Amino acid sequence: MWDDELRACAVDPGGEPERIAQRVHKEGLTLEAILVTHGHFDHVEGVRGLAEATGATVYCSPRSNRFLTGAEGCSATGFPVPGSTARRFKMVADGDQLRVGSLAVKVIATPGHTPGDVTYDIEGNLFPGDLIFYRSVGRTDFPEAILPSFLRR
Q: What is the pTM assigned to this prediction?
A: 0.84
CATH topology of domain 7-145: Metallo-beta-lactamase; Chain A (3.60.15)
131-140 residue pLDDT tens: 777 777 667 6
Helix or strand holding residue 60 (H, E)? strand 57-60
What are 69-79's pLDDT values in tens digits?
A: 665 555 555 55
Domains in the chain: boundaries: 7-145
Q: Residue 50 belongs to what H/E stretch?
A: helix 47-54
Cα of first residue to Cα of last residue in the chain, in angstroms, is: 41
| 54 three-class SS | helix
33 within 8 A of 59, measured Cβ to Cβ: yes
